[in-house]
Structure 1
């Protein structure tokens, strides 16, 4: 069954339809992925006068004093958090919510002055992140991308089947040979690029789907969410850790986003100082981290160091600590070893996904994005060269003569249908559209056929 021409045509037809839908999304994801890889580097280089200070002395202002400098300039705005660096020449960076956007405000702790600010919500990185996750059209875009990523897994399965050597050619030759002219050369380029990209592409698909609203939000993220109620005596009824993320950018660990924020146990007369929070965090082993300020009178101080927030590169050091805003006592302490196995893999996967493990990782992610763009473009060229001249429509691969073989292709579709709900929805839609198109074309052909 699996080696027949009809079955091959079935697989090819599914590969074509999945690719038809997926190609523009994969190009978009690759381009925005490249932007997200280099935007933080470019921003730090472009605005080095904000990110770094020149005159480093032994007596910087306290964090409380720096906070007050920012508060004096942003009287009617909410200061949300501060980034604490272990590099003396780094400016202190506060995050302030100004109207409907979030801005980074930079403070020179040695000269005691505000250096300037940059938009977080309207930055190039935020634009790329929003496009990467929702196509900038909200939940609808999220669903469309989730279908596309689910279909990409279908492309990997069908592509590997179509690549598999069936003649005298060895597997190594099939994996490395790019020769011929015209469509043959493009087909070889497409198959070789796809083969060497397949495992990494599958990894990116799974880690990317973990952010999607259906498979990610409703299934694996909900299942992997840390049960804060078991660690904290009181938790908020309407605030989650996701509320600590600035608009348009995700910085909180993936498995904590849906977890409710804990609350301070009792009201007090005085809130502990920001310097106390920073010192306590450093004494607990934090080096580069963020301190989120309390939300409301029963809110807590939250210290986070994570790969998601780009504070650290080693996921083993992922840690989130909540402190009572009045007593300073530790309410909850969540580290990497408290994550379940999927959340642990996500913590490592995010760092790999974002190119944080040094230059080799950045180069590898860049090469991968370029390879996916090449894979998409070669697929388009192959399709264009295969189309008959003056052809109308999609010129899809022909249906197998034995329609039962078409149905047998379901064995390659089952993993997608069972594991990824939006992928299953896409498969059903493709099947219906394909059937309706074939039926419509048959009626048109019959209507305009010459009379005998």
Structure 2
């Protein structure tokens, strides 16, 4: 997408009648960038903010982490009931262990497709704040980053852009790979005194060389959240039996909402089951409110879990069916630190404890990748490395736009013109098929692009000239 109008002598050696010639790769690089650049900038900016989620959320929650608590604390059951009363018609999803002795209790409750975070004073039971989880600043950034606030359609659009961004990075590496090892100028450092044209070209190339590997990692590790690829991954998890374990990431907005609704229905069923034994049986299900002591066992669960030192945040959940077990988990962003517990509803004893090492191979690989993607795998340096990559991608994108704007000719898009028609290549077919299978959105869109170009765009002279296509 961003080289000089004339091919260099080294590049000319690669100009042969095949799909792997320099100019053809250049064209695919150009079109991939044309599609991806707006998304790359958007994802870089929103992703940079999300990298610092822990610090931002601690800053925003400062008023609720420095309370004056002098007397005896209320029971956890009473705190839960206060939170439920603040959101009428809700059911308990999670009780979050307080971060510090001075912290307000966070109780996450659900109603229909919504979740609410209720901040409760642990002594007075005063409700300090009620906020819809989808309205929390970092949740908004997460949805802006992953789905453009458009739900599953936005998730699929981001996935499509990410797939083509992978093509953009790989073709860029091919174009700028040094053909002569002794000439590293313009490859690993920018030439500052050879004019604007050389400066912008070097800035684009050198930035690409430094950040491409990190960019590919971020693009690939972001795919599990995507609606299409994430569903694809669910099927792959069956290969090693991982599908028998619930995955701890959602795939698209509909998956998240379905999970919330299922928790509401399950929790209500569990609580109703505890009350139905005292109800008149009328031959049909009666919707009864939970008894006042429905969540009484939670204090036993907290006594067990609090002493384990699990990574923050630690969430405790009620049974989802009558007579079921309580559960607790560490929901840390550094996923290798996560643990899941099954607790006895009568004694609070641990019935089962599953750590990260007990999860399936696919889940462990995804978990490590996701933790690194979010900047939480190895502390502040992970965050700074992600920020470095995001800044590099913005530089890469803006320098590409400048290069295109400076080299474009009047009346045409500016894509590299095809010198000759490339011949059929089985190597390309195998490569494209492999990428299409791994990235289904890329494969489908690639077929559509090729068909439209071959049977529509090349048939229209004005369009063919504007796009720089050869005649059929």
Per-residue CA distance 1:91-144 (angstroms, 9 max, x = gap): 211112356532211122244432222331122322222232222333332222
Per-residue CA distance 1:154-210 (angstroms, 9 max, x = gap): 112211111111247534762223433333322211111111111111111111112
Would the aligned equivalents of 1:53 and 1:108 in 2 still touch at CA under 8 Å? no
CA distance 1:229–1:215, shift in 2 (3 Å)? closer
Measured on the aligned residues, the alpha-carbon RMSD in Å equals: 3.9
Would the aligned equivalents of 1:31 and 1:369 in 2 still touch at CA under 8 Å? yes
Q: Does 1:292 align with 2:312?
A: no
* Equivalent residues in 2 for 1:212-223, closer than 5 Å: 212-219=226-233, 222-223=236-237
TM-score, normalised on structure 2?
A: 0.77
CA distance 1:318–1:443, shift in 2 (3 Å)? closer
Q: Give the Cα–Cα distance (whole angstroms) in 1 for the partners of residues 463 and 404 of structure 2.
A: 26
Q: Give the Cα–Cα distance (whole angstroms) in 1 for the partners of residues 103 and 347 of structure 2.
A: 30
Q: Give the Cα–Cα distance (whole angstroms) in 1 for the partners of residues 60 and 338 of structure 2.
A: 29
| Match in the other structure for 2:168 | 155
Per-residue CA distance 1:287-346 (angstroms, 9 max, x = gap): 531112333546542211133xx4xx3x43311223354675656543211222332122
3-state SS in 2 of match to 1:106: strand
TM-score, normalised on structure 1?
A: 0.80
Higher mean C-alpha deviation, range 344-353 or range 325-334? 325-334
Higher mean C-alpha deviation, range 181-190 or range 9-18? 181-190
Q: Give the Cα–Cα distance (whole angstroms) in 1 for the partners of residues 220 and 139 of structure 2.
A: 22
Higher mean C-alpha deviation, range 183-192 or range 59-68? 59-68
Aligned-residue offset at 1:3: 4.7
Would the aligned equivalents of 2:225 and 2:252 in 1 still touch at CA under 8 Å? no
Task: Pick from 343, 348, 353 the counterpart of residue 323 of structure 1.
Answer: 343
Task: Pick from 449, 462, 468 the counterpart of residue 430 of structure 1.
Answer: 449
Q: Does 1:23 align with 2:37?
A: yes
Task: Pick from 34, 56, 60 the counterpart of residue 42 of structure 1.
Answer: 56
3-state SS in 1 of match to 2:74: coil
CA distance 1:16–1:424, shift in 2 (3 Å)? same
Would the aligned equivalents of 1:300 and 1:324 in 2 still touch at CA under 8 Å? yes
CA distance 1:442–1:391, shift in 2 (3 Å)? closer
Would the aligned equivalents of 1:271 and 1:325 in 2 still touch at CA under 8 Å? no
| Match in the other structure for 1:4 | 14
3-state SS in 1 of match to 2:102: coil
Q: Give the Cα–Cα distance (whole angstroms) in 1 for the partners of residues 239 and 121 of structure 2.
A: 38
Task: Pick from 366, 382, 402 the counterpart of residue 346 of structure 1.
Answer: 366
| Match in the other structure for 2:394 | 373
Task: Pick from 305, 327, 348 the counterpart of residue 330 of structure 2.
Answer: 305
3-state SS in 2 of match to 1:81: strand
Q: Does 1:102 align with 2:143?
A: no
* Equivalent residues in 2 for 1:155-304, closer than 5 Å: 155-167=168-180, 169-171=182-184, 174-179=187-192, 180-219=194-233, 222-223=236-237, 273-283=297-307, 286=310, 288=312, 289-297=314-322, 300-304=325-329
CA distance 1:354–1:443, shift in 2 (3 Å)? closer
Higher mean C-alpha deviation, range 207-216 or range 153-162? 207-216
Q: Give the Cα–Cα distance (whole angstroms) in 1 for the partners of residues 99 and 54 of structure 2.
A: 18
| Match in the other structure for 1:32 | 46
Per-residue CA distance 1:22-42 (angstroms, 9 max, x = gap): 111111211221232345533
Q: Give the Cα–Cα distance (whole angstroms) in 1 for the partners of residues 438 and 127 of structure 2.
A: 51
Would the aligned equivalents of 1:175 and 1:195 in 2 still touch at CA under 8 Å? yes
| Match in the other structure for 2:281 | none
3-state SS in 2 of match to 1:121: helix
Q: Give the Cα–Cα distance (whole angstroms) in 1 for the partners of residues 439 and 353 of structure 2.
A: 33
Q: Which runs of 5+ in 1 are unaligned?
A: 232-239, 446-452
| Match in the other structure for 1:134 | 147
CA distance 1:382–1:147, shift in 2 (3 Å)? same
